[in-house]
Amino acid sequence: MWAHPADEMNSIWVGERVATIKFDDILSNVINRRDAAAWGPNAQFRYPMNGTGQIWNTPTPTLSPSPNP
């Protein structure tokens, strides 16, 4: 879905694909340490230490070809 060309995306296109939030509900869930059950698998997302770039940086050494002997 996100392979769509960026120059063809706009707020309407993105708005159809990104869930809307209710700030009060989020704040209450954070304070009470509850998941937003209605969000299914998107109810939790833990960012990697040092940011989302680590999703790509961590496996890179194991995917890179080894140097020729």
DSSP structure string for 40-61: GGGG--PPPTT-TTHHHHTTHH
DSSP string, 14-28: HHTTS----HHHHHH
**How many domains would you assign to the chain?**
1
pLDDT in tens, 4-61: 787 887 888 777 777 778 899 889 989 999 887 777 776 667 777 787 778 778 777 7
In a domain, 10, yes or no: yes
Beta-carbon contacts of residue 54 (< 8 Å; ≥ 6 apart): 48
Task: Measure the N-to-C terminal CA separation of the chain; round to a whole number of Å.
Answer: 41
Domain encompassing residue 15: 6-51
pLDDT in tens, 13-24: 777 777 778 899
pLDDT at 2 over 70: no
When pLDDT is cut at 50, 70 and 90, the band that residue 3 belongs to is confident
Task: Please tell me the predicted confidence (pLDDT) of residue 43.
Answer: 67
In a domain, 60, yes or no: no
